[in-house]
Amino acid sequence: MTSADTSAASFDSAPAEEPRRWSVRRWLGPFAVALALLSALLTFLVLTGLTSIEPTREVVSSFLAINAGTILLLIGIIVREVWQMIQARRRGRAAARLHVQIVSLFSIVAVLPAVLVSVVANVTIERGLDRLFSGPTKEVIQNSLIIARAYMQEHAQVIRGDILGMANDISRVPLLFDQDRQSFLQLLTSSAAARNLPGAMLMGKDANPILSAETGGVPLTFAPPAPEFLQNVNENEPEIAVLPDQNLVAAVIRLKGFTDTFLYVARPLDPRVVAQLRQTELSVAEYAQIESRKLGIQVAFALMFAVIALTILMASVLIGLNFANSLVAPIRRLMNAAHTVSTGDLHVKVQVHKSEGDLAQLGETFNKMTQELRSQRDELVNASDLIDSRRRFIEAVLSSASAGIIGVDTSGSVGILNRSAEKLIGHSEAETLGHPLSDVLPELDEMMKASREGTQRLVQGQITITRDGTERNLSVRVSAEKNQPHDSYIITLDDITELVSAQRTSAWGDVARRIAHEIKNPLTPIQLSAERIRRKFGKDITEAKDKQIFDQCTDTIVRQVDDIRRMVDEFSRFARMPKPVMEGEDVADTVRQAVFLMKVAHPELDIEAEFREDPLRAQFDRRLISQAVTNIVKNATEAIEQVPPEELGKGRIDVVVSREGEDVLIDVIDNGIGLPKVARSRLLEPYVTTRAKGTGLGLAIVGRVLEDHGGRIELKDASDFREGQRGAWMRLRFAISGQAKKAEGTEPVPAVTDTAKDATTPEIRQSAAESARDSFTAQETKVPAAETKEPAEKTNDSTKIEASTGS
């Protein structure tokens, strides 16, 4: 499945998945947020003492556990949402990046205030505690305690002096205690009254009262001390005790001279002062306890703020996630729909929820857009189908057309061409399209200039192009579409090379028949007259010098008549080419016999034959093919003879017979002087020669033979066959079946028939007549450059001239 299919599938499944997702998200998220905020609020109220619930350790722990549970629930929901968001981005789901950005933004907005509040709260608490336990506050509390203790110490010192004085007084009269208790009681009472004590008490070691003295007639209200307290009391230093519960300061001492008798006195204290003293001690103790728990308090408050802040943070993040989901969901649907539209599916429709506000309106607009696009696309598809059918028709016409067709835009660049044009100009479509026509076919520059500057829509003419060493004649028609400022041009190319050659050949055949008819008749009388003159008057000439001149002149006449007769015979033979008789023969055997005859005739040359397929059966005329091979090999021997001996070395001719598809190939390669570079194709035309005594019919006859066998002759350089070799490479190609194959998209080349003869233009006929006249008037003074357009001094560069048996 492609990415487009995956996206489309996810888009199609989204409407079915969203209700299931929202059934959980719609209630779980808000419920968790509400629960977390409620627990955080209650925790804050309890810890700050704003409720009737006392913030004990158990209560605080319980509330913190509840807050931790809600936080874990929020974290679980957030982790699930974040995980789904990450998975969506990994799968490349639409709007995943936007989803991450929105959630990140909300998280940052939620985190920063929560962190700032927590930091500020912790700093505030720490500063407050530091101020509470700082020097001045602590000194005030400590001074209050010192003052309270000094007050108690003062009372203790006073009652110590009082009990020591009373103990001294009583210790002087131990007998009085034993003898007169009443007097002793008065003494004890007066001693207590003198010291402003409410009374005094004598007690035994078991703390039982022995004697009590009261001053002011008020009964004693304080109880004796415990027996254990009396065990550590001695005679020299009293034991003093502050009794805040009884608002008393008491003292006890062992009496000297008495047996296990103790004096116990007490003085009442102001209840208000005692209460304040007690409160001061409690406050100091609580202060000390709080000071010792300072770090714990800071940690507790920090934990409380952290829990509350984390709760608010998680709730904010979850709210942000829900908001991001609600914001991204319609955008994701739009992006999925847009992606589906980009794949070409315009039938997609976005689900619209009215609760989404402006995004719902955007979805409705998108649906309207796709509907419009769908209708417009249908119209375009119909128009495109019509245009495409027309285009296919035009392409079929262009591809099947035998003429080359080139379309040129206003900038002069090639916009279109058919296969025939590719073959004619020798460039492929990839090498041509988009390139300037002047680079592809510079021979058309003049005609294109005439078409641009002229007022006529059609410009016609002929050009000659050379591609891969082959010269072609093209008939050109340039049709201009004048649509200013965007002119375009259609160029039609017709290859008339074979037609011109056929017309020339036909014209030459007509000329040859007339020459043979007009010249052959007087040749015999001329020859006979010359012989009679030699016989009749040769006897009358007695002088040796005159005799020699006479014989030389008559011999010249006879010899030239023979040459003219031979040339006329060649004309007759060319004009009356025999119709080939196709029979099943072995090409290899035919070539082998022809090569053997040439090897016998030229033993000084290395003439080798190679048969890559032996035997090679084909339908052909054995006599004509043997004559064609003989003529080509004979031309090769003559080309070798024209090479200076010091440059030649050993003359060599290679004849290779092979098969290529349905064609027979006979290659003749020599190391002679080679072929001319210019007007090479003209060598196949009649009466075109570079040899002084050649008639120019040999290669034309070979070409006619191969045409009759459905083939052709190809002129190449020997270096193309074997790198670094000098000379020419002649390839004879004809069909195994003996019939010409009709190439796709082309028309058969017209044969040299009477119809072709009648179609010859006057220019061609005039050219043929002039060439024939030159053939007779300049037999001894032929200049090869006149026909090959080469300089006269470079006639040695031309070879492979026609090689008929009489040439």
Task: Specify the CATH number for the domain of residue 705.
Answer: 3.30.565.10
3-state SS class at 804: coil
In a domain, residue 804? The reply is no
In a domain, residue 311? The reply is yes
276 with 315, same domain: the answer is no
Residues near 397 by beta carbon (within 8 Å), at least 6 away in sequence = none
410 with 472, same domain: the answer is yes
Look at residue 549 and tell me whether its pLDDT is greater than 80.
Answer: yes
Confidence of residue 2 (pLDDT cuts 50, 70, 90): very low
384 with 422, same domain: the answer is no
In a domain, residue 504? The reply is no
β-bridge pairing 488-495 and 470-481? antiparallel
Residue-wise pLDDT tens digits, 577-594? 667 889 999 999 999 999
Residue-wise pLDDT tens digits, 5-59? 444 334 444 444 444 454 555 677 777 778 877 887 787 787 777 778 877 778 8
What pLDDT score was predicted for residue 780? 34
Number of domains the chain contains: 6
Sheet holding 728-735, edge to edge: 606-611, 652-660, 663-670, 728-735, 712-717
Maximum pairwise Cα distance, the chain:
234
First to last CA, the chain: 77
422 with 526, same domain: the answer is no
Over residues 418-435, mean pLDDT: 82
In the structure encoding, which two tokens stand for residue 550, read together? 């006479």
Which CATH number characterizes residue 442's domain? 3.30.450.20
Residue with structure tokens 């709260």? 121
29 with 86, same domain: the answer is yes
325 with 245, same domain: the answer is no
362 with 334, same domain: the answer is no
pTM given for the model: 0.39
Confidence of residue 663 (pLDDT cuts 50, 70, 90): very high
More confident residue, 752 or 410: 410
In a domain, residue 148? The reply is no
In the structure encoding, which two tokens stand for residue 7, read together? 């996206």
Q: At what angle do helices 294-342 and 358-400 cross, to 10 degrees?
A: 40
Residue-wise pLDDT tens digits, 625-641? 998 999 899 989 988 88
Closest Cα partner for 35 from 66, 9, 13? 66
Q: Which residues of 326-356 are buried (b: 16+ CB within 10 A; e: fewer)?
A: ebbbbbbbbbbbbbbbeeeebebebebeeeb
Lowest-pLDDT choice from 177-181, 299-303, 719-723: 299-303
Over residues 719-738, mean pLDDT: 88
In a domain, residue 152? The reply is no
165 with 264, same domain: the answer is yes
587 with 732, same domain: the answer is yes
What pLDDT score was predicted for residue 146? 78
305 with 287, same domain: the answer is no
Q: What is the C-alpha separation between 439 and 422, in angstroms, rounded?
A: 14
In a domain, residue 145? The reply is no
Give the range of the structural domain holding residue 270, as residue numbers without chain letter. Answer: 159-291
What Å distances lie between residue 294 and 131, 132, 141, 305, 518, CA to CA? 12, 10, 17, 16, 146
Q: Of the candidates 334, 363, 388, which is a domain's last residue? A: 388
What pLDDT score was predicted for residue 268? 81
384 with 428, same domain: the answer is no
Which DSSP category does 246 fall into? T
Residues near 729 by beta carbon (within 8 Å), at least 6 away in sequence = 667, 668, 669, 715, 716, 717, 718, 720, 721
676 with 774, same domain: the answer is yes
Q: Of the candidates 291, 318, 333, which is a domain's last residue? A: 291
In a domain, residue 807? The reply is no
Over residues 486-511, mean pLDDT: 76
Q: What is the C-alpha separation between 564 and 576, in angstroms, rounded?
A: 18
Q: Of the candidates 461, 495, 529, which is a domain's last residue? A: 495
In a domain, residue 146? The reply is no
